[in-house]
A and B are shown apart, each in its own frame.
Chain A
Amino acid sequence: MYPPKFDYYRANSLSEAFSLMQEHGGAKVIAGGHSLIPSLKLRLADPGALIDIGRIGELKGITANGNSTRIGALTTHAIVAAAKNLPQGLTEAAGWIGDPQVRNRGTVGGNIAHADPASDLPTVFTALGATINLTGPGGERSVAAQDFFTGLFETALQEGELVSSIDVPTNGGGSAYAKLFNPASRYAVVGCAAQVKVENGVCSAASVAVGGLTSHATKANAVEAALLGKPLNEATIAAAAAQISQDLGDDVMGDLHASADYRRSIAPIYVAQALTAAASRAG
């Protein structure tokens, strides 16, 4: 399979990237290319020109800053998986994205800009209350992860903008990610990220999100509400996880890997798994 023909431009800085994007309207931006190159080969995209931002140093690396850690958009999944100063729910999710070859090349920024409904990181960033930092020729702006993912492969990114970094709070409590994965691609059939705080034996804060079920990562408000003020044990976690059907409503999608009914019926299992692990880490 061959991609359609395209011209190729490499940007060595953000300003170079913006001027190339301005110059070549309709061009696609490429970083790791692990979503874009398959799309090109399938001829789902034919942009005419690619602007390679993969070597822009200012978009790489992980920096801790007080109660938050900043992940540069071009940081690979392998580097996130091995990082020490990030919530465990994020590092374990990053460690199970695809396979080593994908993690060594795929980037965090590319992953969320692509916004595949079965992708792991949108779910995790939504649950962890991360902030997505965007940059464009006109300057920077920030969007809460919860508002960044807007639909099927749709985000709040505007024409001409790039994801520059993601800020992840590191004081949110214990966190975990659980998923049923497609055994070939390791994309989530159902994925759940959870973060909880426990004070005086009861849950004082809970943030839960699911992916793979609907068009984009979804916050599980009903599950969260059912946890607050409760001790986190098997019974309370199971009861809260059952509330996921409220959060999902009628929007669950099915495909050849799993029907909507199947996804809906197994969702509580993975919500409970993520909550149980997060609670054990909330110490």
Chain B
Amino acid sequence: MSSKRLLTTLAINGIEHELALEPRRTLLDALRHDLQLTGTKKVCDMGDCGACTVLVDGRAMYACLLLAVDCTDRQITTIEGLAQADELDPLQQAFIEADAFQCGFCTAGQIMSLKGLLNETPAPNDDQILRAVTGNLCRCGAYRNILKAGRLAADQVAHPEEARHADSTH
């Protein structure tokens, strides 16, 4: 079997990368091994745990179940693409405020799933926040605070000034 490498252009966080990839290379391995973008985590590698969640054209997907060669002409967003210069994304800030992680290994995936939710549903209710992270396992059990972080981030996106003010009173 020849399995020749294919020249593939991947648009990651707004930057195009040209790579010669084996067709069996997953987007997850391309991110971590070919592009050294190790913020996206590899855990189960079978589409169960959610640690590898990235956005593809704005929607949450498992990077471990996408062939990198099939990601041409798509806009991929990883955890490294959320902060703007020195300013964290409201979700990243909310995870810190709400203490929404313990070991932190699932955190990038949790944040990307919630980012996908906020892209489509800017003012989600608790049920929508919880359903958005049903594909993301947290074995430390930080779920309550992940929900809290989702609420905080949604408030921050809806009312940037008020939310910031409310946080400073804690």
Contact = CB atoms under 8 A, between A and B. Distances in A.
Interface of A: 1-8, 10, 30, 33-34, 37-38, 40-41, 48, 50, 52, 54, 78, 98-102, 104-105, 184-186
Contact of A186 (B56, B62, B134, B136): B134
Interface of B: 1-4, 6, 22-24, 26, 45-48, 50, 53, 56, 59-62, 65-67, 69-70, 113, 116-117, 131-132, 134-137
Contacts of B132: 100
A41 B66 contact: no
Q: A-side binding surface: helix, strand, loop or mixed?
A: loop
B113 A101 contact: yes
Contact of B62 (A10, A78, A105, A185): A105
| The 7 A-B residue pairs with the shortest CB-CB distance in the complex, in nearest-first order | A99-B135, A8-B23, A5-B3, A104-B59, A3-B24, A99-B134, A101-B135
A5 B1 contact: yes
A232 B136 CA distance: 40
Contacts of B53: 101
Given A52-B70, A100-B113, A101-B60, A2 B47 contact: no
Contact of B61 (A7, A30, A41, A104): A104
A185 B113 contact: no
A201 B1 CA distance: 65
A100 B3 CA distance: 32
A165 to B, nearest CB: 22
Given A5-B24, A52-B70, A101 B61 contact: yes
Contacts of B113: 100-101
Given A101-B60, A104-B116, 11 more contacts: A6-B24, A7-B4, A33-B66, A37-B26, A37-B47, A37-B65, A38-B65, A99-B134, A101-B53, A105-B62, A105-B65
A184 B136 CA distance: 10
Contact of B66 (A3, A7, A38, A105): A105
